[in-house]
Structure 1
Amino acid sequence: MVDDLYQETILDHSKRPRNHHEMADANRRADGYNPLCGDRLKLYLKVENDVVKEASFEGAGCAISTASASLMTESLKGKTREEALRLIDKFHTLLTTDTPASKDLGKLVVFCGVRDYPARVKCATLAWHTLKSALNGTGEVATTE
Structure 2
Amino acid sequence: MSGLQDLYQTVIIEESRERRGDGAFADGTWTGHSHQVNPTCGDEITLGVRLDADDCIESIGWQGDGCSISMASASLLTDLLQGKSRDEALELIGEFRGVMHSRGQREPDVERFGDAVALGGVSRYVMRVKCAMLSWVALEDALRKSEH
Q: 1:100 to 1:124 in 2, by over 3 A?
A: closer
**Structure with the higher strand share, 1 or 2:** 1
Match for residue 24 of structure 1? 28
Matched length: 138
Q: Distance in 2 between matches of 1:13 and 1:105?
A: 15
Q: Distance in 1 between matches of 2:108 and 2:131?
A: 19
TM-score, normalised with respect to structure 2: 0.88
Which amino acid in the other structure matches residue 28 of structure 2? Answer: A
Runs of at least 5 residues in structure 2 that lack an aligned partner in the other structure: none
SS in 2 for 1:45: strand
1:55-114 deviations in whole A, cap 9, x for unaligned?
111011111000000100111111000000001011112222213422311111101110
Which amino acid in the other structure matches residue 127 of structure 2? Answer: A
**86-95 vs 60-69, which moves further:** 86-95
Are 1:63 and 2:68 an aligned pair? yes
Deviation at 1:27, TM superposition (A): 2.2
Q: Distance in 1 between matches of 2:37 and 2:106?
A: 27
1:11-60 deviations in whole A, cap 9, x for unaligned?
00111211111232322211111000001100011111210011111011
Which amino acid in the other structure matches residue 55 of structure 1? Answer: I
Which amino acid in the other structure matches residue 116 of structure 1? Answer: R
Are 1:85 and 2:90 an aligned pair? yes
Runs of at least 5 residues in structure 1 that lack an aligned partner in the other structure: 139-145
TM-score, normalised with respect to structure 1: 0.90
Q: Percent identity?
A: 36
